[in-house]
Amino acid sequence: MDYAIDIRDMTVAYREKPVLWDVDLQVPPGVLLAIVGPNGAGKTTLIKASLGLVKAAAGSVLIHGRPYAEQRSTVAYVPQRGSVDWDFPTNVLDVVTMGLYGQLGWFKRPGKAERVAALKSLAQVGMEEFAARQISQLSGGQQQRVFLARALVQDARVYFMDEPFQGVDATTERAIVDLLQGLRKQGKTVAVVHHDLQTVPEYFDHVMLLNVRRIASGPVEEEFTEENLRTTYGGRVAFVSALSAAKK
Amino acid sequence: MSASFEIQLIAVVVAVTCAIPGVFLVLQRMSMMSDAISHAILPGIVVAFLLTGDLGSPWMILGAAMAGVLTVALVELLRKTGLLKEDAAIGIVFPALFSVGVVLIAQYAGDVHLDIDAVLLGELAFAPFDRMTINGVDFGPRALFVMSAIFCVDVAFIVLFFKELKLTSFDKALAGALGFAPAFLHYVLMGLVSITAVGAFDAVGSILVVALMVAPPATAYLLTDSLKPMIFISVGIGALSAISGYWMAHFLDASIAGSMATMTGVIFLTAVVFAPHRGLWSVRKRRSSQQIVFGRKMLVIHLYNHEGLPEANQECRVDHLEDHLRWDHLFATRAIKSSLQLSLIKQHGALLSLTETGREVARKSLVEL
Ligand SMILES: Nc1ncnc2c1ncn2[C@@H]1O[C@H](COP(=O)(O)OP(=O)(O)OP(=O)(O)O)[C@@H](O)[C@H]1O
Ligand SMILES: [Mg+2]
């Protein structure tokens, strides 16, 4: 089977203690996947290692059957919002255009076609009137949508998103979910780090439970079980059972 | 060319050349790195000097660049152990390398031009005496040639890699994911900082190198919202500091390099206070004008609410406003004056009343509230 994302035996250690241990993940194409786990579980690290941003001690990653280095142009990445400096002297349109730098390659400058594409994806996230806005003058939710637009403009086959719902209000969250489900309907694969367990069954069709090791991964209805959650979140049993009560 | 003109020209070229890589240092929050590099290149310079016996040879620049890159690599190495933060790592690496340079000078090069004062402050005033002569023809001061060449390298790098530098400075992770080798660009940039520092160092010493690399971009950062203007403004401010510094030194009979450094500081402080949007002055003015707008609204609403009522004679008196709205006298005066100017209100003696426009504004403001 041709997986969109195929991670095998991924092990990462920043120091002596591994933060990811022998993690496997196979995601079929056209799937909206939630990556779930407590703080420090290694979710961000898993994405970074998949994109070659962090060196893995062991393991391999294939995107649609080929190594990431050969597939860069078909993969889009939305980092955690806090990972960049929002006081940087640039505007919204410019940030979205950065999504196209990969396709432009070295030296070539973005031109009119790139600006048009960037404006179009800004419109998709409902931010077109902010195109000329200095990025320091955006709210958290607006920043998040700019990042999303930057990923959309890449028109990738596989998307990795690190907490795209962080700090957005309910309406925006709904709008983003609709966008993600739209991507899935076009046959794209979207892997999303997600913290709100309550909304996992509603938003996603696949889930990966991660806490240094992979606890489970697969369709939500099979793998998003109380037992798996308990294993993932360890001691915080009360919280988990309150959640599963809420689920019923 | 007179010596005075040559000195100014060298000063301008040095300042402008430092400002260019400085922009990216400031944006990547690595200003301290310029401090580290400009000191740590000393052993590179000394070793190259001891090997070639020639000051200002290309080998010296190469030696300095290597020492600079070594500094960056060592800082990176220390930081990666996770035992200390970047600033602490810088604080350990550069004094170590600098002191090696100082010891080398004291041991082996004590009797040449490389003395500690020159290292820290440079001596721009003597730069015109070191001429570039080819076959007996005088082409001008050597420092001017060296610095102009470095300027061209810096400009070529920024022009060629503008997009890539912008991306890595803003979002290193995306740059990496898109295959733009941020680590490589980082080292090239640091190499440039080192080359620029060594060129400038000869003319103006290591302290001014730091001032010229950091202060003009930091000033420009306050004055603009986008990257390209920031580069041009930095360059302009560098040149301005150079010329004004020269004349300040001239009139005060002070060190030129020291005066230039002072001017970068003066210009920076001026920008902190007077920058159009971010400056303290305009922030204050904006706040106070917003307060006046708000004051006008309160005033017309207050008058509107009491208009035509029996207590109007009491409520709509100027002195009563100060009690009722809890305004201090000065603010009340300003709000009333501004409302009168916009003919929102009329004044009869101590009594205020609304005009038709004022009534309209009051109604609108009430809806907004
Ligand atoms: N650059 C780094 N150097 C050293 N340790 C790191 C580094 N980045 C992350 N870690 C450690 O690796 C572990 C996993 O971090 P990671 O950021 O992947 O977690 P996460 O699941 O994304 O957490 P969160 O939900 O808080 O975003 C944590 O214990 C963290 O402290
Ligand atoms: Mg994370």
- Contact of A99 with A76, CB cutoff 8 Å: yes
Of residues B244 and B353, more confidently modeled: B244
d(CA A125, CA A146): 8
| Nearest ligand 1 atom, CA A38 | 25
Q: Considering only CA atoms, which of A113, A167, A114 is closest in space to residue A142?
A: A167
Q: Whose CA is nearest to atom 3 of ligand 1?
A: A14
Asked if A98 lies within 8 A of B164 by C-beta distance, the reply is no
Of residues B198 and B22, more confidently modeled: B22
- What integer pLDDT is reported at residue A99 of this predicted model? 95
- What integer pLDDT is reported at residue A226 of this predicted model? 86
The encoded tokens of residue B118 equal 């020159």
Q: Whose CA is nearest to atom 13 of ligand 1?
A: A40
What three-state secondary structure class fits A217?
strand
Q: Whose CA is nearest to atom 7 of ligand 1?
A: A14
Q: Find all residues with CB under 8 Å of B326, minimum gap 6, and list them.
A: none
Work out whether strand A18-27 and strand A5-13 pair parallel, antiparallel, or are unpaired.
Answer: antiparallel
Tens-place pLDDT, residues A52-106: 999 999 999 999 999 999 999 899 999 998 899 999 999 999 999 999 999 999 9
d(CA B156, CA B17): 12
The complex scores an ipTM of 0.90
Q: How remote is the C-alpha of A234 from its chain's centroid?
A: 24
Phi, psi dihedrals of residue A63, rounded to the nearest 5° = -110, 120
Of residues B232 and B329, more confidently modeled: B232
Residues of chain B with CATH 1.10.3470.10: 3-278
Chain B nearest CA to A214, separation (Å): 24
Average pLDDT across chain B, whole number: 86
Q: Which of residues 217-236 of B touch A (CB under 8 A)?
A: 221, 224-227, 230
Buried b (16+ CB within 10 A) or exposed e, B242-252: bbbbbebbeee
Tens-place pLDDT, residues B97-135: 888 888 888 887 666 555 556 666 667 777 787 787 788
Nearest to B225 among A101, A109, A134 (CB): A134
Q: Considering only CA atoms, which of B191, B185, B183, B200 is closest in space to residue B69?
A: B191
Average pLDDT of span B338-363: 86
- Contact of A132 with A93, CB cutoff 8 Å: yes
Chain A nearest CA to B218, separation (Å): 12
Chain A residue at shortest CA distance from B176: A53
Nearest to B177 among A53, A89, A95 (CB): A53
CATH superfamily of domain region B3-278: ABC transporter involved in vitamin B12 uptake, BtuC (1.10.3470.10)
Q: Which of A15, A23, A43, A215 to mutate to test ligand 1, by most ligand atoms within 8 A of the CB atom?
A: A43
- What integer pLDDT is reported at residue A156 of this predicted model? 94
| Nearest ligand 1 atom, CA A41 | 21
For chain A, the straight-line distance linking the first and the last C-alpha, in angstroms and rounded, comes to: 35
Q: Which of A149-153, A243-247, B177-181 has the lowest mean pLDDT?
A: A243-247
Residues of chain B with CATH 1.10.10.10: 281-368
* Closest ligand (CA of A13): 1
- What integer pLDDT is reported at residue B87 of this predicted model? 82
Longest Cα–Cα distance in chain A: 56
B350 — pLDDT class (breaks 50, 70, 90): confident
Of residues A15 and A150, more confidently modeled: A150
Selection from B17-21, B209-213, B280-284 with the highest mean pLDDT: B17-21
Taking 80 as the threshold, does the pLDDT of residue B369 lie above it? Answer: no
Q: Dump the DSSP string for A125-160.
A: TT-GGGTTSBGGG--HHHHHHHHHHHHHTT--SEEE
Average pLDDT across chain A, whole number: 90
Taking 90 as the threshold, does the pLDDT of residue B45 lie above it? Answer: no
- Contact of A80 with A39, CB cutoff 8 Å: no
Taking 70 as the threshold, does the pLDDT of residue A1 lie above it? Answer: no
Q: Find all residues with CB under 8 Å of A110, minimum gap 6, and list them.
A: A97, A100, A101, A104, B163
Q: How far is the CA of B353 from the centre of ligand 2 (A)?
A: 61
- What integer pLDDT is reported at residue A151 of this predicted model? 95
- What integer pLDDT is reported at residue A66 of this predicted model? 92
Q: Which residues of B touch A79 (CB under 8 A)?
A: 171, 173-174
A82 lines ligand 1 (CB under 6 A): no
Average pLDDT of span A8-13: 93
A83 lines ligand 1 (CB under 6 A): no
- Contact of B262 with B214, CB cutoff 8 Å: no
Q: Which of residues 84-113 of A touch B (CB under 8 A)?
A: 84-85, 88-91, 94-95, 98, 101-102, 104, 106-110
Q: Whose CA is nearest to atom 9 of ligand 1?
A: A45
Distances (CA, A) of A39 to A3, B150, B268: 28, 48, 42
Chain A residue at shortest CA distance from B174: A77
- What integer pLDDT is reported at residue B56 of this predicted model? 63
The encoded tokens of residue B117 equal 């004062």
Asked if B167 lies within 8 A of A109 by C-beta distance, the reply is no
SS (H, E, C) chain B: CCHHHHHHHHHHHHHHHHHHHHHHHHHCCCHHHHHHHHHHHHHHHHHHHHHHCCCCCHHHHHHHHHHHHHHHHHHHHHHHCCCCCHHHHHHHHHHHHHHHHHHHHHHHCCCCCCCHHHHHHCCHHHHHHCEEEECCEEEEEHHHHHHHHHHHHHHHHHHHCHHHHHHHHHCHHHHHHCCCCHHHHHHHHHHHHHHHHHHHHHHHHHHHHHHHHHHHHHHHHHHCCCHHHHHHHHHHHHHHHHHHHHHHHHHHCCCHHHHHHHHHHHHHHHHHHHCCCCCHHHHHHHHHHHHHHHHHHHHHHHHHHHCCCCCHHHHCEHHHHHHHCCCCHHHHHHHHHHHHHCCCEEEECCEEEECHHHHHHHHHHHHHC
CATH architecture of B281-368: Orthogonal Bundle (1.10)
Amino acid at B229: P
